Chain A
Amino acid sequence: MTSHDLTRMTAEGLAGEIAAGQVSAVEVAQAHLDRIASVDGAVHAFLHVSGESALEQARAVDAAHVRGEAGASTLAGVPLALKDILVQKGSPATAGSKILQGWIPPYNATVTQRLLDAGVVILGKTNLDEFAMGSSTENSAYGPTHNPWDLTKIPGGSGGGSAAALAAFEAPLAIGTDTGGSIRQPASVTGTVGAKPTYGGVSRYGVIALASSLDQVGPCARNVMDTALLHEVIAGHDPRDSTSINRPVPKVVEAVQRGRTEGVEGMKIGVVKELQGKGYQPGVMESFTAAVDALTEAGAEIVEVSCPHFQYALAAYYLILPSECSSNLARFDAMRYGLRVGDVAHGGSLVSAEDVMGATRDAGFGAEVKRRIILGTYALSAGYFDAYYGSALKVRTLIRQDFEKAYGAADVLISPASPVTAFPLGEKVDDPMAMYLNDLATIPGSLAGIPAMSVPSGIASDTGLPVGLQIMGPALGEEQMYRVAAAFEAGYVARHGRTVADSAPELEVSA
């Protein structure tokens, strides 16, 4: 089997061949490292490639196989791209920021540890908007990632690196984090799959915090089954994260099998009236309407639901997020780790800790991070707290109630995952509000903490770029969400002969 074939395979297929001894984990890892070497110069999905460490993990999987041991998990030996906001011991972690340049974490995130224990091979760390603040990866201090479908376009954000690594066949699996849409919107614009579990479904220990009441880690892949397999490897209670839910992990792999065999017969699917129309690109709405028709044909009962407070979600989010991030990012104080500039003890001119801190944070943080820190500090300040942060928390309750009512009428809700397909790099960098509107459809689910995912619905007729279908389940309702996603994907493949991800144009390969 050629290395090109190995990089085109699903995670499920690779795991099966490795377990059967038809291919070694080292060959699989090497094929993906070679693919990264040949295309990542143009894509820039990775900030760090852990070649030797990845091969070492793969050799351990192969050695266990030779000893006759069963694979450590259903994904043993399968390579993965890790978003550079989770820490991996010994591998540089930047969160896309200059303030952490050169920092080598001394411990593993719980998710990292679970991946390693499962025999998943970590290829490296992927690019992101600085501290996950953005929708295009253009806020990364290390340069943007390019969308493999069209290298002049954004790959989404903040997890554009993870999504692009999948779409460029550099890895069959990736980890993302989603605060307001950072898993789902990149999946949508790259034709890949990404799921945000219920808030608390996956441990955040070792994940660099952005907004603690919203942040959630989740699985990404090129198809629904691979996403579900990865979901089960990383999910579950962790005593090191006090927001982690102490309940059994939803049986999402079983749900995918059920979706493939039984489809959506008898399920009620709600179309959210407020998550369409104005601000949504015609090609996106066309693909969404076709998806609704496909689900109807597959036996689902479609109901329209109204969530009148969703129109205030973006406003509430851009008060809650900056408030929490202004507090979380106070830890970057130039004292214990990361960048320090201007210190008189090291050739600078600044004497006091306060001045060193101010100079370091100005030099180390990018523009979007500074904007949000200032905005959050304002929203939390005396005299404005009730009007801004307090009101935003009340809007959050109204949105939660909208969801509760909607789930009274439907098993899952659907909408486009992103209002637009991938736009040109540079188009929105100077207009923060225009950039924020990319998360219009994903933010309500983030505020309510429900599980939500993006699965490709097709290719937009107006731009020729992929469109994502967002499927939202009630809290802890991952199983019905994955069932609908799997059924929809199976229908798409039956009609088109392949998944959207497999239809991506070939990238030019450099020697």
Chain B
Amino acid sequence: MSSPTDSAAGDAGAVAPALTRDDVAHLAHLTRLELTESELDTYVGQLSVILDSVSAVTAVTAGLDIEPTTHAVPLTNVYRPDVPVPGLTQEQALAGAPSAQDGRFRVPQILGEEQ
């Protein structure tokens, strides 16, 4: 097997600033992942290697006027007949909930004490 960064042909360092430990901690918070200290240490190195590899896309498309492809087989305005169909019952919808009360999802408080 070739070395990890072989696929990232080209020098696309243009947009690849080094990812810091603080960056990873910030991103983890944005995605609601409470990472441990050792996870942060591991991910900062691994993510930097991956980012360095994938940034090849920037160099190859730089200055090119190309339409982006979001879906392989594009479809627009997909409609179905406006006919009601039965969904889940309340009981079924709550059956997998971590906590339920009075026919509703029971969730931890959303606002802090001071709010």
A200, A335, A388: the one contacting B105 at CB < 8 Å is: A335
Give the residues in chain A near B107, CB-CB below 8 Å.
335, 353
A278 to B9, CA, bound (A): 13
| Chain A residues numbered 350-404 whose CB sits less than 8 Å from any CB in chain B | 350-359, 361-362, 365, 367, 370-371, 373-375, 377-378, 381, 384, 387-388, 390-398, 400
CB contacts (< 8 Å) of A448 on chain B: these are: 72
- Known contacts: A312-B57, A353-B107, A375-B51. The answer to whether A475 contacts B72 by CB under 8 A is yes
Whether B103 is near chain A, meaning CB under 8 Å from some CB there, is no
Please state if B55 and A377 are interface contacts (CB–CB under 8 Å).
no
Residues of chain A with a CB closer than 8 A to B33's CB: 358, 361-362, 365, 370, 373-374
Smallest CB gap from B101: residue in A: A345
CB of A311 within 8 Å of the partner chain: yes
Closest CB-CB distance, B111 to chain A, in whole Å? 8
Kindly state the separation between the CA atoms of A326 and B28 in the bound complex, as whole angstroms. 11
Given contacts A352-B112, A362-B35, A384-B15, contact A106 B99 (CB under 8 A): no
Q: A311-B9, A397-B69 are in contact. Are A356 and B108 (CB under 8 A)?
A: yes
With both beta carbons as reference points, the residue of chain A lying nearest to B4 in the complex is identified as A433
A395 contact set on B, CB distance < 8 A: 57, 60-61
Neighbouring A residues of B54 by C-beta, 8 Å = 314-316, 318-319, 388, 392
Tell me the minimal C-beta distance from A162 to chain B in angstroms: 23
By a CB distance below 8 angstroms, the chain B residues around A198 are 73
Q: Nearest Cβ in chain A — how far from B86, in angstroms? A: 11
**Also in contact, A326 and B15, with CB within 8 A (given A213-B72, A353-B108):** no
| Known A315-B53, A337-B97, A354-B32: A371·B43 in contact at CB below 8 Å | yes
Main secondary structure on B side of the interface with A? loop
- Complex interface residues of chain B between 66 and 85 (CB less than 8 A to chain A): 66-73, 75, 78, 80
| List of B residues within 8 angstroms of A391 by Cβ | 57-58, 60-61
- A245 in contact (CB, < 8 A): yes
A466 at the interface (CB under 8 A from B): no
Does B72 lie within 8 Å of A361, measured CB to CB? no
Chain B residues closer than 8 Å to A392, beta-carbon distance: 54, 57
Q: How many residues of B contact A (CB 8 A)?
A: 66
Consensus secondary structure, chain A interface = helix
Chain A hits for B97, CB < 8 A = 335-337
Q: Are A352 and B108 in contact (CB under 8 A)?
A: yes
Name which residue of chain A comes closest to B92, CB basis: A106
Tally inter-chain residue pairs, CB-CB below 8 A.
223
CB of A377 within 8 A of CB of B27, answer yes
In the complex, A346 has a CB within 8 A of chain B:
yes
Residues of A with C-beta under 8 A to B27: 374, 377-378, 381
Partner of B2, one of A107, A279, A339: A279
Contact of A397 among B68, B88, B99 (CB under 8 A): B68
Write the A306-321 contact mask toward B (1 if CB under 8 angstroms, else 0): 0001011011101100
**What residues of A have a CB within 8 angstroms of the CB of B19 in the complex?**
378
Q: Which of B7, B50, B60 has the most CB of A within 10 A?
A: B7
Given contacts A279-B2, A437-B7, contact A388 B66 (CB under 8 A): no
A16 interfacial by beta-carbon distance below 8 Å: no
In angstroms, how far is the closest chain A Cβ from the Cβ of B83? 10
Give residues of chain A (78-137) contacting chain B, Cβ–Cβ below 8 Å: 103-107
The answer for the CA separation of A359 and B70 in the assembled complex, in Å, is: 33
On chain A, the residues within 8 Å of B23 by CB distance are 378
- A97 vs chain B, min Cβ distance (A): 14
Q: How far is the CB of B108 from chain A (nearest CB, A)?
A: 4
Closest to A370 in B: B33
What A residues does B18 contact at CB under 8 A? Answer: none
Are A339 and B98 closer than 8 Å at their CB atoms?
yes
A416 to chain B: which residues have CB within 8 Å? none
B27 to chain A, nearest CB (A): 5
Instruction: Using A318-B54, A393-B70 as known contacts, say yes or no to A343 and B24 having CB atoms under 8 A apart.
Output: no
Task: Tell me the complex Cα distance, A434–B46, Å.
Answer: 11
Task: Tell me the complex Cα distance, A387–B13, Å.
Answer: 11
Per-residue A-contact encoding for B8-46, CB less than 8 Å = 1, 0 else: 110000110001000110011111111110010011001
Q: Are A393 and B69 in contact (CB under 8 A)?
A: yes
CB nearest to B106 among chain A residues: A345
Counting CB contacts under 8 A, is A199 at the interface?
yes
Binding site for A on B (CB under 8 A): 1-2, 4-9, 14-15, 19, 23-24, 27-36, 39, 42-43, 46-47, 49-51, 53-58, 60-61, 64, 66-73, 75, 78, 80, 88, 92-93, 95-99, 105-110, 112
Q: Which residues of A contact B (CB under 8 A)?
A: 103-107, 198-200, 213-214, 239, 242-243, 245, 278-279, 309, 311-312, 314-316, 318-319, 326, 330, 333-340, 343-346, 350-359, 361-362, 365, 367, 370-371, 373-375, 377-378, 381, 384, 387-388, 390-398, 400, 419-420, 431-434, 436-437, 440, 447-450, 475
Known: A388-B55, A394-B57, A436-B50. 15 other contacts (CB 8 A): A106-B96, A243-B75, A314-B53, A315-B54, A333-B32, A335-B98, A345-B99, A351-B108, A351-B109, A353-B109, A361-B32, A374-B43, A394-B61, A394-B68, A397-B68
Q: Can you report 10 A-B residue pairs in the complex whose CB atoms are below 8 A from each other?
A: A103-B96, A309-B60, A337-B97, A362-B35, A365-B33, A377-B30, A394-B66, A437-B2, A447-B72, A475-B72
